[in-house]
Amino acid sequence: MNYQNLLTATRESLNVDLKVKEGKIPDDLSGFVFINSGAGTVNSGGLPYKKKLPNGDMNKEYGSPVINGDGYIFRFDMTQKGKINLKTNILKPPCYYADLASSPLLNGKNNPYAKIAFKNKGLARMSMKLGTRNQLNTAITAFRTPGDDQLRMLATFDAGRPFEFDAEKINVITPIGRNKFWRSGTPPFFYDPFPMFLTTAHPAYDPETREVFSVNFTKTTKRLLSATEIFELLAKDKKGFEKKLEERIKQWKNYESKEKAIEEVNEFFYHAQEAKKKKSLKKMLKAIYKKSVGHKLSNEDAVYVVIWQGEDTPQSIKILNEDGSDIQIQHNIHQIGFSKDYLILADTNFKFTLNVMMNNPFANNKKLNSFLRELLSGVQNDYSSIYIVPRNELTKGKKEVRAHKVILPVETVHFSVDYNNDNDIVTLHLAHNCSACPAEWLRHYDTRKIDGQRVDEQKVGMIAVGAMDISKIGKVRIDVKNRAVLQKESKFLHIEGNLDEKDPGPHTWGIGLHTYNGILSPDSNVDKISHVFWQAYGLSDEILTEFVYRLYQSPERNRIYSAEEMLEFTKKGAPFVLQTVATEGMEVTDYYSFPENVYMWSLQFVPSSQPKDNVPEALNGYILCTVVGKTENTTKGDSYYSEIWLFDAQDLKKGPVTKLYHEKMQFAFTIHSIWVDSASSVTTPPYTINIQEDYDEQISQVKRKKLRKKVQKLMNEGVYPYFKQSN
């Protein structure tokens, strides 16, 4: 058996039939499952990010989070009886080719674009001269436009506009909306050819109205740069805060190039030519504070709903609070949803702002990176804000609409909504990731809380979701007219299980993704979601770090268990679990506990092609899961496999009905998925953007003439030739 690291992922374009390891492929499978994932950069050749380059130099991408990588789509074709075909490909938007052409590793350090190349900076891949990579690696939305039955697909990312891709060829077709349509998420003085657009990774499509809904939000520079109280500390306690900075700066005195380090920090945060003249981090931070409160150098706090039905320019409507004030997004609108009459926007507890996108700038440098992380990483709120927008007010020509705001007493990242909202009651089914932080990842310098030892090198880059409280599965009923959560009709389910047993039973330690029959369907809405299949990550002392423990240990958080109690639970451990929750009584009716050292990442309901007697539609099908598991100890260390497991949705407990593999199928961490009944090429795309015109307009705004000419040449030679079909 070939050795495979825990976080191994290929970037190879595959077209293979999966092999059966155990069981039998069910005869009543149908349609296609698409799964999105990150698979490293143009430099890495996949995952893991290796510590050293082939020439022996330290790899500057080592330690990057696995969710920072090019979008790599898996397409599982189940339309042939007894067979599952896998097709994969990397999605390559224009910024991909700019990344490829400017890479010093691929083209040499002396290539003319090496100094403006993209680099992994944290959750984002950025260039201080080119902008931000739109990696399209998070989720997938299927849709149809009015008057056209062709099924079409969008790939999405939290910090970029969605792109349509071909469901057969798995290559990008066109972005949705020109660059000038979207409002940039970075401060106005950033004139980037590849802007960062703060959108949602989960646009919503209503097959009843054939509308695609997305968002575009902006933050003030002050709010964007930090989720902590860094600016308030500078303003209110300058001496104390500066002393702390000076104490940390002393650690840098032995660096061979201290001035270079400080210059990089300045340019990294300040992104202005004069920042290079600053000689201390203290002065740099004071400059940021001064600049960030200036109106001309800052975005506004604003949220816009984007509505698209295939037209040349989407519709954009500003969403306000009920009192007419601007909405201030604290974290991120990672997900939106809808019912028949309402659009639901959530300020989700996933801090996707510049502090986590850019807080790992100095590759392999523990002192600088740990300092910046300590300085910039803030805790996420222990509540969620939901904004409910009446859909009947989102009409053509409307400029502004006011939303109803409702506060949920627990955190959330992902949710689904019943389409039925009779009597103006909206029902949400939510994952509550209490005191967990999906925006943090394991660094190579992190230590485990349990014993103070360094984290396992194979786990460097994994999401640091070591639980600091028990998660919950929520069903929340909201009376929209009265802006109130109906407490008696809502329930937050948390289950500890019996952690003293090898199989503790169903539990809610680390609730993750979910699926159900009809989720994200491009054909019909689910009026009332009756059964939801939930993933739980479990408890592991391998991924609870000292840093995350310290970040979320406060007893003042809205929590069930204290940090000390959580440490004791973590010592016992709990496995990954797949479980069914009947939403009527909010009870777990079925579950499967995965074996030790087996990770289950994505899950997707696949409906059966055959109706079955006495089996409700919500359970008539299969759950497809991506699984990574440990196989054996080798001379190189622990080795892992990548497999697809299929479960009978009405009987999870009996285990997978089949396990599938292929030697070339390797994934480290897969994310969101979708099932559709067809997946053919878009023969004549009805809507495409002229890529050259779109980006030439951006390049014309670059102020420095020399840089503008260099970027234009890069685009002319390295990018535009790949998009001639849309010119």
Does residue 190 surpass a pLDDT of 80?
no
168 occurs within a structural domain: yes
- For residues 645 and 551, state if they share a domain: yes
Residue 1 has pLDDT above 90, yes or no: no
- Does residue 126 sit within a domain? yes
Residue whose structure tokens are 């509308």: 211
Q: Look up residue 233 and give its amino acid.
A: L
Under 8 Å CB-to-CB from 84, ≥6 apart: which residues? 17, 18, 25, 29, 76, 77, 78, 644, 660
Residues 266 and 164 in one domain: no
Q: What does the alpha-carbon distance between residue 331 and residue 224 come to, in Å, rounded to a whole number?
A: 9
Q: Which amino acid would we find at residue 207?
A: P
Residue from 166, 516, 214, 191 nearest 338 by CA:
214
Residues 215-242 have pLDDT tens digits of: 999 987 655 554 333 433 443 444 454 4
d(CA 136, CA 189): 25
Token pair for 471 = 């998660």
pLDDT digits (tens, 9 = 90+) for 343-371: 999 998 887 555 555 545 455 556 556 66
Q: What is the pLDDT of residue 375?
A: 57
DSSP-H helix ranges across 308-445: 354-357, 366-376
The reply to whether 282 and 265 lie within a common domain is yes
pLDDT of 243 over the 70 cut: no
Domain count, the chain: 2
Residue 398 vs residue 636, higher pLDDT: 398
What pLDDT, on a 0 to 100 scale, did the predictor assign at position 299? 75
In a domain, 8, yes or no: no
pLDDT in tens, 619-647: 999 999 999 999 876 666 789 999 999 99
Say yes or no to pLDDT of 260 above 60: no
Does 63 share its domain with 135? yes
On whether residue 1 sits in a domain, the answer given is no
Query: Which of 264, 298, 332 is a domain's end point?
Result: 298
Q: Take residue 377 and report the two structure tokens written for it.
A: 């990483």
The predicted model gives 703-707 an average pLDDT of: 91
Q: Classify residue 270: in a domain, yes or no.
A: yes
The H or E element containing residue 535 is strand 531-536
Task: Give the pLDDT mean for 380-393.
Answer: 94
**Arithmetic mean of pLDDT over the chain:** 87
Helix (H, G, I), strand (E, B), or coil: what is residue 661? strand
- Domain match, 405 and 472 both: yes
- Same domain assignment for residues 380 and 511: yes
pLDDT of residue 372: 63
Same domain, 194 and 283: no
Task: Tell me the range of 220-234, 381-395, 713-727 where mean pLDDT is highest.
Answer: 381-395
Whether residue 5 is contained in a domain is answered as no
Question: What CATH number has the domain bearing residue 418?
Answer: 2.130.10.10
Task: Encode pLDDT of 410-421 as tens digits.
Answer: 999 999 999 999
The β-bridge relationship of strands 125-127 and 415-417 is: unpaired
Q: What percent of the chain has pLDDT over 90?
A: 73
312 and 386 belong to one structural domain: yes
Q: Which amino acid is at 175?
A: P
**Within a domain: 55:** yes
pLDDT at residue 199 tops 70: yes
Query: pLDDT band at 284, cuts 50/70/90?
Result: very low
Is 103 a residue whose pLDDT tops 80? yes
Q: What tokens appear for 250 in the block?
A: 């002393």
Is there a single domain that holds both residue 719 and residue 656?
yes
Residue 10 maps to a domain: no
Q: Which of 102, 152, 307, 115 shows the shortest CA–CA distance to 718?
A: 102
Look up the domain containing 262 and give its range: 220-298
Amino acid at site 689: I
> What distance lies between CA 4 and its chain's CA centroid?
25
Q: Which of 298, 328, 350 is the last residue of a domain?
A: 298
Helix 705-718 to helix 94-102 angle, to the nearest 10 degrees? 110
Over range 333-338, report the average pLDDT.
96
State which of 274, 298, 322 marks the end of a domain.
298
Identify the DSSP state of 379: P
Half-sphere exposure of residue 234: CA atoms within 13 angstroms, side-chain side: 18
What DSSP string runs through 431-478?
Answer: EE-TT--TT-B--TT-BBTTTSPBPPGGGTTSB----SS--EEEEEEE
* DSSP-based three-state secondary structure for 603: strand
How far apart (Å, rounded) are the C-alpha atoms in residues 267 and 272? 7
Please name which of 589, 576, 587 lies closest in space to residue 504, comparing C-alpha atoms: 576
Are 272 and 402 contained in the same domain? no
The highest-confidence range among 162-166, 264-268, 437-441, 611-615, by mean pLDDT, is: 162-166
> Comparing C-alpha atoms, which of 529, 442, 403 is closest to residue 477?
529
pLDDT tens string 529-576: 999 999 999 999 999 999 999 989 999 999 999 999 999 999 999 999
Q: Which of 297, 298, 296, 315 is nearest to 306 (CA)?
A: 315
287 in Cβ contact with 267 (< 8 Å): no
